[in-house]
Amino acid sequence: MAAIRPNPHAKERAMLEQIVTMDTAAETSFADLKLSGDVFGALINLSGRRRFTSQRVVLYAVLASMGHEGAIATARETLAQFRDAHLTLVEGKRGLPGIFCGQLHDAYFGTLQGDRVIRQFIDLADATLAAIVDDAKGAPALLDELVRSATPLLSVLNGLTLVYEEQSKRHAQTQRRQLQSMMGNIKTIARQARMVAFNAQIVAARAGSEGKEFAAVASTMTSITAEIDDLAHEALNGSLAA
């Protein structure tokens, strides 16, 4: 009986299927998210904070290597803030959604490799600070590597923040279009209702004295629908100007 040879491509196929499954699940979760202007503001602020804290970590690591009092504690505290901000933006925390669209997924795990670059910086900073505390021989080399990593890291962080800003603009444009569509529908309905009320007034007038009460109601309906039409018109003009 011939031995069964393992398929050399089975592992690659399994990995591909796993990636496809993860991407499909991500797309499904993206569709279920509720985003708002406040959420986007918080995400952009948090992404921008990563830029500041990353440079602060490097600065205080250098100061710690020079023996400045409290520099190690400040560097570690800042690194913890940097790590927390990154985990929040990737995984979601405190009401923030984490990665919520394909563009961000690509920026973190595809084109920019943002997640890998950021995690490597965190590991390097941890190792550098530990070496400085222990006065290890490798501390100067680690510190030099940390300083050199700051500029390319900043470029990646700027790219990630730009993605958040672009998504915020896209969300605002979508919201504006939806508002314009809704206001247009309200305006159309108000006009139709006003026409119905106007026709009712004509019918009431033809009914003579018996239609006076109905005429009063129809007149009120005409006034209300006219006011709704005006308000919808103002709102629509406001959304177009925004």
Question: What's the mean pLDDT when you consider all of the chain?
Answer: 79
Residue 170 confidence (pLDDT): 82
In this prediction, residues 107-120 reach a mean pLDDT of 95
Residue 162 confidence (pLDDT): 95
For the chain, how many residues are written? 242
Domain boundaries, the chain: 35-172, 179-241
Residue 202 — pLDDT band, cuts 50, 70, 90?
confident
**CA–CA–CA angle 212, 218, 224 (5° rounding):** 140
Sign of CA dihedral 87, 88, 92, 93: positive
| 226-238 pLDDT per residue, tens | 676 666 666 656 5
Residue 176 confidence (pLDDT): 72
The share of the chain scoring above pLDDT 70, in percent, equals 62
Q: How far apart are CA 173 and CA 164, in angstroms?
A: 14
Q: How far apart are CA 131 and CA 4, in angstroms?
A: 52
Residue 210 has pLDDT above 70, yes or no: no
Q: Which CATH class is domain 35-172?
A: mainly alpha
In this prediction, residues 147-163 reach a mean pLDDT of 96
Residue 214 confidence (pLDDT): 62
| 142-152 pLDDT per residue, tens | 999 999 999 99
Residue 159 has pLDDT above 90, yes or no: yes
The share of the chain scoring above pLDDT 90, in percent, equals 49
The 10 Å Cβ neighbour count of residue 11 is: 10
Q: How far apart are CA 48 and CA 40, in angstroms?
A: 12
Residue 215 confidence (pLDDT): 62
